Amino acid sequence: MTQESDPRLTESFYDTVRSASDVLIGTHLNPDGDAIGSALAVSLWLDGLGIPNEVLCHNLPPSYLEFLPSSDRLSQSPRRKGHDLAISVDLDSLDRLGSVRPWIESVPRLILVDHHIPHEMPGDLRIVDPSSPSTASILTDLFARLEPRPGATFTPGMATCLLTGLVTDTGGFRFPNTTAGSLHHAAFLVERGASLSQVMDECYLNKDEQSVRMLALALGDMKMSSDMRLAWVVLRPEWFERLGAGDEHTEGIVNEILSVRTVEAAFVIRAGKNGKVKGSLRSKGTIDVAKIAQSIGGGGHKNAAGVTLEDTLERAERTIYSHLVEALESR
């Protein structure tokens, strides 16, 4: 039995939430569709129970996710005090909360809902299943089981948010985590009022000009190993300055270079703040980039992971390159 299907956890989740008077919801910095979709779905579900709540995130949502119902309720700091329950979603480590971490940690009780391999074990109640394709999938099951309870309504807005999390974390149902279960979840969410065509269009056909131009620069500067099994790009700081671009305009670049027929692993790195370097790692088949990421200060899933290194771009490039080459050569 997986954690999220344990009826005791379902009961504990409901009882804990019902006893709360004000809830603070948090998710990871640089949020993707699963992070924001899951956080907003929890917020909308709490609305149905009549429980006041706020949604915090270090970064505001990227423009392509602004279509989500109530996306304007995301904030970078709480508007009031007195929260007695925090719910964190899509989060494997509290340090990934960024600037909102102190507010989440100050709340006396914490529920964690996640599908990553955990770095830490925070939370008074943990609903975690690394085999799930997305946090949105876990919440879909959870909210469906709780629906008969008073006020626990599964609304079309929630369905849209959760379908967005599922779509983005499965790469539009292209990644290996696309299973019969994830497709059943998608069908269920469409039945509950979500539009699959709308979610697909908003997530994949709604790019800013900066995103397309950044992709063009990245593809033009793509590097490949001599055996053409590894591809990577170093996103130059001057590109961001020239385009007026930010982190949100790099979404999807690593998947594009992974699409080369011979490539089995790929990474993209960029300079972050405070002398840190951020990296996105992807792979096909049996190459486990999550293990590599964990060994150098990151985490994620077998075929999709991220890292943050306190280093220069040049040294970070060599570090990630050497680890991926070693993984490829050991096959």
Per-10-residue mean pLDDT of the chain, 331 residues long, equals: 66 96 95 97 98 96 94 96 97 90 97 85 89 96 94 96 97 92 97 98 94 98 98 97 94 95 98 89 94 90 91 96 96 77
Residue type at 106?
S
Q: What pLDDT is recorded for position 76?
A: 97
Give per-residue pLDDT as tens, 169-204: 999 999 889 999 999 999 999 999 999 999 999 999
- 3-204: CATH topology: inorganic pyrophosphatase (n-terminal core) (3.90.1640)
Q: What is the DSSP string of 63-109?
A: GGGTTSTTGGGEESS-SSS---EEEEES-S-GGGGGGGHHHHHHSS-
79, with CB counted inside 10 A (0-12, 13-18, 19+), is exposed
Q: What pLDDT is recorded for position 2?
A: 42
Give the count of beta carbons closer than 10 Å to the beta carbon of residue 50.
8
Q: What pLDDT is recorded for position 275?
A: 85
Give the count of beta carbons closer than 10 Å to the beta carbon of residue 325.
15
Give per-residue pLDDT as tens, 77-129: 999 999 999 999 999 888 889 999 999 999 999 999 999 877 677 789 999 99
- How big is the chain, counted in residues? 331
Query: Which residues make up the CATH 3.10.310.30 domain(s) of the chain?
Result: 209-329
Query: Which residues make up the CATH 3.90.1640.10 domain(s) of the chain?
Result: 3-204
- What CATH code would you report for 209-329? 3.10.310.30
First to last CA, the chain: 32
Backbone angles phi, psi at 155, to 5 degrees: -90, 160
